[in-house]
Amino acid sequence: GAGVSQSPRYKVAKRGQDVALRCDPISGHVSLFWYQQALGQGPEFLTYFQNEAQLDKSGLPSDRFFAERPEGSVSTLKIQRTQQEDSAVYLCASSLGRLLGAAYVLVFGPGTRLTVL
Amino acid sequence: KNQVEQSPQSLIILEGKNCTLQCNYTVSPFSNLRWYKQDTGRGPVSLTIMTFSENTKSNGRYTATLDADTKQSSLHITASQLSDSASYICVVSRRYNTDKLIFGTGTRLQVFP
């Protein structure tokens, strides 16, 4: 597609509920990132994929967070037993290649706003 | 202490005026610095990317500068328009670990007619 798309755009969950957030990166983009953005803050890194391989998941805040990209394209971020502190915008971004020192443009999706009641 | 700090936190200007946003970083060793524009409810959009050897880069009415010695960058917006109202985020990546971008908290710019 023309850009990175995410669904749903908005999600309201009751505390303890599981949620799944989807990201469709730009076709052909090798790298895919997930970020968490709290209100009024900059995005915080969660995890990174190169094709189907999850190369860095050091930003995932707890073992309730799980991400996958099984075929190297669409990615899903799953949050189990959601807590109120999980409320944030979850941004997905993709780029053509690995960001190794080079200025690959990182293209962001519109984000999914998760509200946990 | 944040590794990427931006100032001011928020800014209000009149349409047609110029403004300059600041970014100071402590990330080391440095790889590149990016400025993003984020409209409310949207994902960030890239404005400029600068590597160590670049001092200035323009994108239309946006001009970014970089001083890698003092670890400072600025984003200058010329002849502001109402559509410039957004958050502007400075993002730095560290050499050898460029996968993990380090974001500032942004400057919220409001342009009034």
Question: What does the pLDDT read at residue A37?
Answer: 94
Q: Whole-number mean pLDDT of chain A? A: 92
Q: Which residues of B touch A101 (CB under 8 A)?
A: 31-32, 51, 95, 98
Largest CA-CA distance found in chain A, in angstroms, rounded: 42
CA distance B103 to chain A (A): 6
Range A91-109 average pLDDT: 78
CA distance B72 to chain A (A): 18
Nearest-CB residue to B51 (from A59, A103, A111): A103
Nearest-CB residue to A43 (from B41, B95, B103): B103
Share of chain A above pLDDT 70, in %: 94
* Beta-carbon separation of A59 and B49 below 8 A: no
Q: Alpha-carbon distance A100 to B1, whole Å?
A: 26
3-state class of A39 per DSSP?
A: coil
CA distance B56 to chain A (A): 15
* Beta-carbon separation of A106 and B46 below 8 A: yes
Letter string b/e over residues B54-77, b meaning 16 or more CB atoms within 10 A of that residue's CB: beebeeeebbbbbebeebebbbeb
Structure tokens that stand for B16 in this block: 């047609």
Share of chain A above pLDDT 90, in %: 79
* Beta-carbon separation of A42 and B105 below 8 A: yes
A47-56, Cβ contacts within 8 angstroms, sequence gap of 24 or more: A47/A77, A48/B99, A48/B100, A49/A75, A50/A98, A55/B99, A56/B99, A56/B100
- Reported as a single tens digit per residue, the pLDDT across A11-53 is 999 999 999 999 999 998 999 999 999 988 889 999 999 999 9
pLDDT surpasses 80 at A100: no
CA distance A4 to chain B (A): 10
Per-residue pLDDT of chain B (113 residues; tens, 9 = 90+): 569 999 999 999 999 999 999 999 998 888 889 999 999 989 999 999 998 889 999 999 999 999 999 999 999 999 999 999 999 999 998 877 666 788 999 999 999 99
* Beta-carbon separation of A42 and B45 below 8 A: no
Q: What band does A59 get if pLDDT is binned at 50, 70 and 90? A: very high
Nearest to A78 by CA among A44, A29, A112, A28: A112
Question: What does the pLDDT read at residue A2?
Answer: 77
